[in-house]
Each structure stands twice: as structure tokens, then as C-alpha cells.
Structure 1
């Protein structure tokens, strides 16, 4: 049986084939995307492929540069041809939860400015219904305890994400509140409710945003298309 890391690697390397010479490519964040970056780095060295990478986090930008990629910020490109990113959960409608790495705001900004999007996952991330994975919500640090109280009153079971006992800080200096929902019956209604909360910067529900999911599975890599 293949390990989860092997499945991630297979998906990442398969997705690298979606990148063509001369493209502007949104580069996601996370453990599966790291394999994508490795594969793209190999194509740069072996095949001389050139593309502009638009990162969704500082760590992706740093690693991309190490691999020889030309990295530009979102504000320095006109349009992105394709964004390839990971996901924490994907349902049959190709809606997903993202933000386990705390980068969902940059990820969503890059994705919404892309002609097309593809996600790369191992088969454990494909679910019948979203919600088992805690839903990340990026919020301003100022007043975040009041948001935690409000979310608790709504039954969202919020928890401030901690690292070494301190609140996790995003690239924008914000805080992540993880919502332990178990299941999300209406992701669109929840997305609207969270977006309308003062102090919320961005949530991790990515709805109607991807057209392709590359899945690494025990029986090989396959594609789900919308």
C-alpha cells in the first residue's frame, strides 16, 4: 500500500504537466503543493520550461525561488493562466475547504484572478460532505476574542489556532479561528454568514472556484472535472 506522502507526490507530479512554457501560474501552499514545486523545478532544469509563478504564501515564494522559478506578486501580473493548489477537503461538487496551512486569503486572491484552477489532493481528502476538517477563518487580531464568543454562540465550536502556545500568525499578521463543525449542510449560507461578520478577513470555504481536481490514489492518479 502506498503511503499518503507517495499519493501526494504522484498527484503533485501529475499536476505539473498542466503547466506550459510561457504561462503565469498561481502556486499554492501546503505539503502536496511542495511536490508540485519539486516537479516544476525538475522541468525547469531538464526541459528549460519557463513560467512566472505567483505565490500564495511567503514560504511558497521562498521555495520557488530556491528551485529557480521567476516569482512575481499578484499585483505585478496582468492575469494568471492557471492556479494549482492543495485542498483539505473536496466534495463531489468540487467545493472545498482550504486553509490548513493558514494561507487561505492569499490562496483565494490568487485563485479568483486565475483563468482556471486545479487542486491536488490524495484520496483521503475526497469526502461526501464538507465539514469534518476544521474550517479555518482568518480574522483581525483586534477584537478576535469577541468573534470567538459570537461563533461559539452560533454553535460553531471555534478554537484559536495556536503554535507553541501562541496564536498562529498569517502572512498578513492576522489570526486563524478553526471551526469544528463536523458537517456543513449548506456551505453557501455559511460562507455568506462568515463573510458578513465584522472582523473576518476571509474564510476557508472555496465554492465554485476549481474546475479540476487531481487525486492521488492507491489505484493511480485520476482527475475529477467540473
Structure 2
């Protein structure tokens, strides 16, 4: 699986040019990309700046000698490179397994181009096949949000599996709620996204619509496939 991720990451490197400001998303494939990018920057003496979407990515970028900046300095990155938990044939995504979906969506949607890199196991016919939809939720509102969501599916607060007692807290100080919608609701993702965001206390959803995605680079056993 690592090799498939590496194939996708190597292909994404081809879109990086000198002087670019890149949005750095989260996930294991993006981590591979950032390490490869650091090698490319050193070998070719490139000027590339990363806008991290999480503290994890910030630390990874700095540890690999990459230059970082904020969205305040560069509100429109040239390119964002991100991963995904699920991708459908129309480039719609579920993201948020790493609890960084809010900052990821802000940076990804602000970029001039968005490229998603995944291995072939992330490709599904329909979203929510294997993963729930992560939601970033204000802690003050978690119970009322779950009550509202329970009318259209099932929802639970995500807890840390190790290293911390209690709910996972995002880099923004919020909770993550994992939501499994009733199956028919996923037929219209834009409408579902709107419906969820209309609940007071929901700050953002892990639904990333394909209309915002320029390319999905998929590492496969045969090589690389691109959805665009």
C-alpha cells in the first residue's frame, strides 16, 4: 500500500513549480508527498512555501526543512495537495479522518487548483460506503447537533483511541462528530451538505464536492490513474 501512495505522491510532484505557494493537506499520502517535496526542493534549489492545514502538517513540514506561511500572508495558494478517506467517480470526497477538515476545506477551496492524492483503496462507487461523514462541531452545541442528526441518520462524538482521555479536540478547539446519514440522503451530496450545515453548531462537514477538485491522482497496482 505504501508503494501505491508513493506513486500518487510522485505524480503530484510534477505539478509543483518554483515560486509556488502550496496548501498542505493531511493524511499518510500527503505525508509522503511532503517528504518527497522536501527532497525535490533541496536538489533543485526551489522556492516553495507550504500553508499547513494542521499542527501535524506544520511540524512535518518544518522537520523536513520546508518553508511555511499562513493563509493571512497568501490567501490564494497556487495549489493545494490533499488526501481523502473516500473518493467517488465524480471526484466527491469524504475527508476528516484526521480531524483537520475545517482548515483543510478553507485552504483547499481557497487554492487556485486542488489536487487530491490517494491510493486505489480509497475509491468507492458511493460516498459513506466505508466511512462516516466527519463534522466539526462547537462543543457547546454537541448534544443538540446529535439530536438533530439522529432524525436523518446516526451520529456519535469521536473519542481518542489512545494518548488522551475524552473526545478528540481539533486544532480549533472543537469536537468531531461522525455522522452516518440515511442511505438515500447521499444521492444528493450538495443538498445533504447544506442540510447538515443548516444545523446551528455545525461549523463544517467532511463532504468536499467534486466541483472544487481539479484532479484526483490515484496510485494503483498498475501505475497511476487520474480523475479530472
Is 2:138 the counterpart of 1:140?
A: yes
Give the C-alpha shift of residue 78 in structure 1.
4.2
CA distance in 2, matches of 1:182, 1:101: 23
The structure with more strand, counted as a fraction of residues:
1
Whether the 8 Å contact between 2:148 and 2:199 is mirrored in structure 1 is no
CA distance in 2, matches of 1:224, 1:49: 28
Whether the 8 Å contact between 1:131 and 1:182 is mirrored in structure 2 is no
CA distance in 2, matches of 1:12, 1:173: 30
Moved over 2 A (4+): 180-183
Tell me which residue corresponds to 2:177: 177
Is 2:126 the counterpart of 1:123?
A: no
Is 2:201 the counterpart of 1:188?
A: no
Give the C-alpha shift of residue 17 in structure 1.
1.7
Give the C-alpha shift of residue 124 in structure 1.
1.1
- The two structures, once aligned, show a CA RMSD in angstroms of 1.3
CA distance in 2, matches of 1:143, 1:195: 13
Whether the 8 Å contact between 1:44 and 1:68 is mirrored in structure 2 is no
TM-score, with normalisation over the residues of structure 1? Answer: 0.94
Whether the 8 Å contact between 1:12 and 1:32 is mirrored in structure 2 is yes
Number of residue pairs the alignment of both structures matches: 221
CA distance in 2, matches of 1:145, 1:102: 19
SS in 1 for 2:62: helix
**Which of 151, 154, 172 is residue 153 of structure 1 equivalent to?**
151
Residues 181-217 of structure 1 show CA distances to partners (whole Å, capped at 9, x for unaligned) of: 3742211111000111100010000012111011000
Structure 2 unaligned segments of length 5 or more: list them. Answer: none
TM-score, with normalisation over the residues of structure 2? Answer: 0.93
Is 2:217 the counterpart of 1:214?
A: yes
